[in-house]
Amino acid sequence: MAVAHLVCRPLSCSKPLGNPNPAAPLLSSKPSLSFPTPSRCRSLALRVSSSAAPASVLAAEASFHHCFSKSADGYLYCEGVRVQDVMEGAERSPFYLYSKAQITRNFDAYREALEGLRSIVGYAIKANNNLKILEHLRGLGCGAVLVSGNELRLALRAGFDPTRCIFNGNGKIVEDLVLAAENGVFVNVDSEFDLENIVTAARVVGKKVPVLLRINPDVDPQVHPYVATGNKTSKFGIRNENLHWFLNAIKSYSNEIKLVGAHCHLGSTITKVDIFRDAAVLMVNYIDQIRAQGFELEYLNIGGGLGIDYYHTGTVLPAPMDLINTVRELVLSRDLTLIIEPGRSLIANTCCLVNRVTGVKTNGTKKFIVIDGSMAELIRPSLHGAYQHIELVSPSLPDAEVSTFDVVGPVCESADFLGKDRELPTPAKGAGLVVHDAGAYCMSMASTYNLKMRPPEYWVDNGSVVKIRHGETFEEFVKFFDGL
């Protein structure tokens, strides 16, 4: 087994950060609760099991900074707030817990990287559609990337500037395109029928729609095939050999649409920024060809897709600065405004799914930790075979045996697991257990399978724990059948 010694965010450990009033609940009907602020800081060491990580991502000794970290007292903290304390006052378990400050830090990394360029940071709402998170990102300066009419409606509800929003998708319907046209949203052209639908929407609204051509550059992002979007077998984008057909068609619809840019998207969890440069080189060549046909293109949209350190090994992965630096000179050389579409890299590492242990069992050959969370709340491990780091919230009992477990939920599917072959101390019944890096493609993909209601969400905001989404209830579910 490989073990990494990681240096975490400084935390105060002079005393546990417990409830200042043990007789009162930590979380009540009031919107927030203030926690004690750390009085002094020290660097802390955290041992992290990485037995399931491939050798290519292991780092024996590295610096690692995270909004969730374990203190010398053995408790897990989020920005100085003890997660165990949050559990004791939460509406129910499981629940999602975010760091608002980490969201800000992640956006600031993109803001710094883009200095000197005209740019739009379009947050991919599909990654996480919590309204309070969207309002925060909009306040920081984000635009929005949309893949449905309801995501557009939510972006407008959150106050996003529609002229800094981009509507993607390979199957956009006319009704949703009409809403985009009414609000002046950029729309990506994905196919021949998509172009026809955009023209129809423009005629309904009586407005000219700004469009970008989504070109499939056929660049292999070297990621899981389910999240690869820029190779020739993908359902997204137009084939580059059809470029001139589309340019002629767009010229014929000059009263309805205006071509303003080109777009590509390679995929998700990308860890090699050279892939972005390879795509950008192809894209600026296409832009040169399009401009030669008389079009005045301003925008290059290179999509999103940066990966994060899901294994918590401290592996050095590309940062926003690395990504932007690979394309900076190309963008400047063509006098373009750069659009990027981060989702995972803005939100994934800001959040944990917090669960309680229901019990521990064995089938004779394998041991299981059964928790109240499941594939219904967090489906990435089941759907993509994805690894997300798992650890206990509180110190284990002194005599707890360390064993290798599958961490599973109560859903009636053998696919219902959150992690396999994880080395952990045997937890007590009711102990807290977190699945890390759950901010992206987790709550937004949650379901009510087995009638598990979608969980509540909280974030830590300047020492206070604030509910940012109510948990769904059975009573709300049965209302869908009222009056039928």
pLDDT bucket at 305, cuts 50 / 70 / 90: confident
Task: Determine if the peptide bond prior to 94 is cis (ω within 30°).
Answer: yes
Do 360 and 274 share a structural domain?
no
- The whole-number average pLDDT for the span 306-316 is 90
Whether 130 has a pLDDT exceeding 50, the answer reads yes
Boundary residue ending a domain (321, 340, 359):
340
Do 383 and 327 share a structural domain?
no
pLDDT at residue 316, rounded to an integer:
85
Do 466 and 369 share a structural domain?
yes
Do 417 and 320 share a structural domain?
no
- The whole-number average pLDDT for the span 373-388 is 96
pLDDT at residue 16, rounded to an integer:
34
Task: With respect to residue 310, please indicate whether it lies within any of the assigned structural domains.
Answer: yes
Do 425 and 362 share a structural domain?
yes
How many distinct structural domains can be found in the chain?
2
- The whole-number average pLDDT for the span 362-369 is 96
pLDDT at residue 469, rounded to an integer:
98
Domain that holds residue 302: 169-340
Do 315 and 177 share a structural domain?
yes
Cα angle 362, 364, 367 (rounded to 5 degrees) comes to 35
- The whole-number average pLDDT for the span 95-118 is 97
Task: With respect to residue 313, please indicate whether it lies within any of the assigned structural domains.
Answer: yes
- The whole-number average pLDDT for the span 151-169 is 97
Boundary residue ending a domain (340, 370, 401):
340
Within 8 A by CB and 6+ apart from 301, the residues are 122, 166, 188, 212, 261, 262, 263, 264, 338, 339, 340, 341
- Average pLDDT over the chain, rounded to whole? 85
pLDDT at residue 51, rounded to an integer:
31
Burial class (CB in 10 A: 0-12, 13-18, 19+), 234: middle
Do 361 and 294 share a structural domain?
no
Among residues of the chain, what percentage have pLDDT more than 90?
73
Tokens 């063509």 locate to 334
Tokens 């002629």 locate to 248
- The whole-number average pLDDT for the span 472-478 is 98
Task: With respect to residue 193, please indicate whether it lies within any of the assigned structural domains.
Answer: yes
SS (H, E, C) the chain: CCEEEEECCCECCCCCCCCCCCCCCCCCCCCEEECCCCCCCECCEEEEECCCCCHHHCCCEEECCCCEEECCCCCEEECCEEHHHHHHHCCCCCEEEEEHHHHHHHHHHHHHHCCCCCEEEEEEHHHCCCHHHHHHHHHHCCEEEECCHHHHHHHHHCCCCHHHEEECCCCCCHHHHHHHHHHCCEEEECCHHHHHHHHHHHHHHCCCEEEEEEEECCCCCCCCHHHECCCCCCCCCEEHHHHHHHHHHHHHCCCCEEEEEEECCCECCECCCHHHHHHHHHHHHHHHHHHHCCCCCCEEECCCCECCCCCCCCCCCCCHHHHHHHHHHHHHHCCCEEEECCCHHHHHHHEEEEEEEEEEEECCCCEEEEECCCCCCCCHHHHHCCCCCEEECCCCCCCCCEEEEEEECCCCCCCCEEEEEEEEECCCCCCEEEECCCCCCCHHHCCCHHHCCCCCEEEEECCEEEEEECCCCHHHHHHHHCCC
Do 324 and 299 share a structural domain?
yes
Do 278 and 386 share a structural domain?
no
Do 293 and 421 share a structural domain?
no
Whether 349 has a pLDDT exceeding 90, the answer reads yes
Let me know if 412 is a catalytic residue: yes
Instruction: Report the range of poorest mean pLDDT among 38-47, 281-290, 308-317, 348-357.
Output: 38-47
CATH number at residue 465: 2.40.37.10
Of 41, 351, 352, 412, catalytic: 412
Do 423 and 399 share a structural domain?
yes
pLDDT at residue 270, rounded to an integer:
81
Among residues of the chain, what percentage have pLDDT more than 70?
81
pLDDT 10s digits, 228-277: 443 454 545 576 667 889 999 999 999 999 999 999 887 667 888 888 88
Task: With respect to residue 181, please indicate whether it lies within any of the assigned structural domains.
Answer: yes
Boundary residue ending a domain (340, 364, 397):
340
Task: Yes or no: say if 215 and 243 are a contact pair by the CB < 8 Å rule.
Answer: yes
pLDDT at residue 27, rounded to an integer:
52
CATH number at residue 285: 3.20.20.10
- The whole-number average pLDDT for the span 395-406 is 95
Task: With respect to residue 173, please indicate whether it lies within any of the assigned structural domains.
Answer: yes
pTM score of the predicted model: 0.85
Task: With respect to residue 125, please indicate whether it lies within any of the assigned structural domains.
Answer: no
Instruction: Report the range of poorest mean pLDDT among 203-207, 218-222, 334-338, 359-363.
Output: 218-222
Task: With respect to residue 317, please indicate whether it lies within any of the assigned structural domains.
Answer: yes
Tokens 């890390």 locate to 436
pLDDT at residue 419, rounded to an integer:
98
Do 272 and 211 share a structural domain?
yes
pLDDT bucket at 3, cuts 50 / 70 / 90: very low
pLDDT 10s digits, 223-242: 434 334 434 545 455 766 67
Q: Which of 243-280 are b and which e, b meaning 16 or more Cβ less than 10 Å from the residue's Cβ? A: beebbebbeebeebbebbbbbbbbbbbbbbbebbbbbb
| Highest averaged pLDDT of the listed ranges 24-38, 233-247, 467-481 | 467-481
Whether 19 has a pLDDT exceeding 60, the answer reads no
Whether 322 has a pLDDT exceeding 50, the answer reads yes
Q: Which residue has the higher pLDDT, 314 or 75?
A: 75
Instruction: Report the range of poorest mean pLDDT among 206-220, 293-307, 312-326, 431-445.
Output: 206-220
- The whole-number average pLDDT for the span 188-197 is 94
- The whole-number average pLDDT for the span 461-473 is 98
pLDDT at residue 109, rounded to an integer:
96
Task: With respect to residue 329, please indicate whether it lies within any of the assigned structural domains.
Answer: yes
pLDDT at residue 237, rounded to an integer:
57
Give the integer Cα–Cα distance in Å for 218 and 243.
14
